Amino acid sequence: MYSYMKSKIQTYKQENEERGRFLIKCPDQPGIVSAVSEFLFKYDANIVESDQYTMDPEGGEFFMRIEFDCPDLQEKAGKMEDEFQPIAEEFKMDWKLMYVSQLKNMAIFVSKEPHCLLELLWEYQNGDLMANIALVISNHESCRETVEAHGIPFYYIPANKDIRREVEEKQKQLLKEYNVDLIVLARYMQILTDDFVRDFKNQIINIHHSFLPAFIGAKPYERAYQRGVKMIGATSHYVTSDLDEGPIIEQDIGRVNHRDNEKDLKKIGQAIERSVLARAVKWHLGDRIIVHKNKTIVF
C-alpha cells in the first residue's frame, strides 16, 4: 500500500508541475482582476479556474482564487513572486502563490475513536486527498497498527491537562522535524494551549461533533439527546484560543427522532463527522479557503 500511494503522489506531482494558484484578499476597487490577469498573461499562463467574491460591494473586501497553468513554472516561480509584489502593494493585497506540485505536509492528531482518522486514510488511499501525511500523533496506542499499515509514522505521546505544555513541546518538535503545514484534529480529545494555537494560526482544523454554535464543549450527543433535538450535525473549523469558536469551514446535519437514543445519535453523528472533516481538509489542501476575521470564504 505504501509503494502504491508513493506512486500515485509522484504521478500527481508530475502532472501538476506547471500548475499554480493565487489566493488574494484586499479592499475592493476597480482593476484588481485586470491586473492579476495581465500579470499571468505576461508569463504565458492560462487561467483554468477563477472565482471571486466581494463582501459588501461599497467599500468592502474582495476575495479571489485563480488556478492557472504556466510553462516552466518552477523556473519562473521566484521571479513571478518578486514581480507580483508591486501589484500587491498597489492594491493592498494579502496574497499567497501556491504551487500545486508542492504537496502540503499534514499531521493528524487522534485519541481513541478512529472513525475520522479512518476516513482521512481512505481518502488518502484512494488518491482523493493529495497531501503528504507525514505523521500521526495520539495519546492512545489503539490506532498504531492501522496507521503503520499505510507506511505512516505513528507517535504515542500520553497527554492530560497536568502535563499539557510538556506534551506540546514534544509535539512541536515532531511538527518541526516533519515540516508540517497542516494539523488535523481527527477527534483528538485534548484542549490545546493558546501558545500552541498561536504558533499554527489557521493551520489547525478540528471536527466538533455538533452543529455549532449548538452544544459547544464536551458531550454534545448526550446534551442533544436530553434536549430532544430533531437534527444533529458536525462542524469543521479552524482552531482558535476560544473553544469551538474558530472560523467555520464546513457543516452538515442528519435527522433524528424520538426513537433514537444516545448511542443512535452518536452513530448517526459519526458518519456526518467523517464527511464534514474530509471535505474541510480537502478544501484546505486545494487552497480553496480564505479566512476573514472569524469567517471563511470557501471557493
Of 28, 181, 244, 260, which one is the catalytic site residue? 244
Per-residue pLDDT tens over the stretch 140-170: 999 999 999 999 999 999 998 889 999 999 9
Residue 202 contacts by C-beta under 8 Å, 6 or more apart in sequence?
238, 247, 291
Of 53-67, 173-187, 198-212, minimum mean pLDDT range: 53-67
Q: Looking at residues 264-288, what average pLDDT do you find? A: 97
Is the Cβ–Cβ distance between 197 and 244 less than 8 Å? no
Residue 156 CA to residue 137 CA, distance in Å, equals: 6
Q: Is 244 a catalytic residue?
A: yes
Q: What's this model's pTM, rounded to 2 decimal places?
A: 0.95
Per-residue pLDDT tens over the stretch 96-144: 999 999 999 999 999 999 999 999 999 999 889 999 999 999 999 999 9
Q: Give the fold, CATH level 3, of 105-298.
A: Rossmann fold (3.40.50)
Mean pLDDT for the chain overall? 95
Higher pLDDT, 2 or 48: 48
Instruction: Quote the pLDDT of residue 1.
Output: 59
Is the Cβ–Cβ distance between 176 and 199 less than 8 Å? no
In the chain, % of residues over pLDDT 90: 90
In the chain, which residues fall in CATH 3.40.50.170?
A: 105-298
In the chain, which residues fall in CATH 3.30.70.260?
A: 17-99
CATH value of 17-99 in 3.40.390.10, 3.30.70.260, 3.40.50.2300, 3.40.50.1820:
3.30.70.260
